[in-house]
Amino acid sequence: RDNLSQALLGFDDPIVDIEIDDDFEIGASTIREAMDAGEIMPWFQPQAEFDNGKVVAVEALARWRRRDGRIVRPSRFIPVIEREGMVDALTDHMLVHACRWKRVWDRMALRLNISVNVSPTTLSDAGCADRYQKIVEDHGVDPADVVLEITESSVMADLAGGLSVLARLRLKGFGLSIDDFGTGYSSLAQLSQIPFTELKIDQGFVVGAREQPRKRAVIEASLELGRKLGLDVVAEGVETLDEWQMLAEMHCGLAQGYLISAPVTGAELAGVVSRWRRPEL
């Protein structure tokens, strides 16, 4: 594969990142223009149930595809967006386009929940619950079919402050997911206060878990916690059959990762879903 198609497929190849990202400056105005021009868009990565292999949800991941076809990864532009105070604009943009795609899939009888990542600053934005509700309802989407992902570390950075916003979002019906779980040092007491509906085990624990008992222990503890708190549990970064099998045996709920598919454009997603077959174990 050449570098471009590799990048388009979303593979995590650091060499590709350097080559395609290195030579242009990113600032507030380039980002604004890129959003307005539809160069920055959600791509979608499927989540499948271990039980029956069915794809039931997608995570929207921001991708910037420039007119010349080159891809800028979120790790390159999201820090700029945060620094420039443009995170709200990005989240709204991602929600709008994820909802539009959801409606397309609805019409194809493809029932998919959508997950959208929200940034730590959202937790101090008292107005976001009303705004997100308006966005999804204006697009004919039920907030109950939308999951907002927030990283464990950002929730824990200001638990007291974030709690009221999270509670408000939950009251509107949004699902709330704790992202990159296992990396954020939360306590059980803190977690149980937050009305989460989903827990995403960080991919760092999934990679190599078969050989590394300590990683497996973290996964087992996360699954146990999820069961006790009544949360859906998603394993991130499932790349191999081995990992799928191990997590299936551990009764994990959902898998997300390159084994199923890298993130793809909205237009490609339905094809990916229809071609995907659960591994025969």
- CB contact at 8 A, 230 and 264: no
Among 179, 198, 232, 243, binds Mg ion (CB under 5 A): 179
Provide the Cα torsion 181, 182, 188, 190; round to 10°. -60
CA distance 82 to 248: 37
φ, ψ of residue 99 to 5 degrees: the values are: -65, -40
The residue (of 21 and 179) whose beta carbon lies closer to Mg ion is: 179
Question: CB 117 → ligand C2E: shortest distance, Å?
Answer: 4
| Distance in angstroms (rounded) separating the CA atoms of residues 123 and 125 | 6
By a kind-dependent CB cut-off of 5 to 8 A, residue 125 interacts, out of ligand C2E, Mg ion, none, with none
> Rule CB under 6 A: which residues touch ligand C2E?
10, 12, 45, 61-62, 73-75, 78, 90, 94, 117-119, 149, 179-180, 203, 236-239, 257-258, 263
47 binds Mg ion (CB under 5 A): no
Q: What are φ and ψ of residue 66, in 5° steps?
A: -75, 165
Each residue 100-139 as x (binds Mg ion by CB under 5 A) or -, in order, gives: -----------------x----------------------
Would you count residue 149 as binding Mg ion (CB under 5 A)? yes
Q: What is the nearest approach in angstroms of ligand C2E to the Cβ of residue 216?
A: 18
Spacing of C-alpha 152 from chain mean position: 13
Output DSSP code: residue 12. Answer: -
User: Cα separation of 72 and 61, whole Å?
Assistant: 12
Residue 257 binds which of ligand C2E, Mg ion, none (CB < 5-8 A, kind-dependent): ligand C2E
Question: Contact positions toward Mg ion, by CB under 5 A?
Answer: 117, 149, 179-180, 236
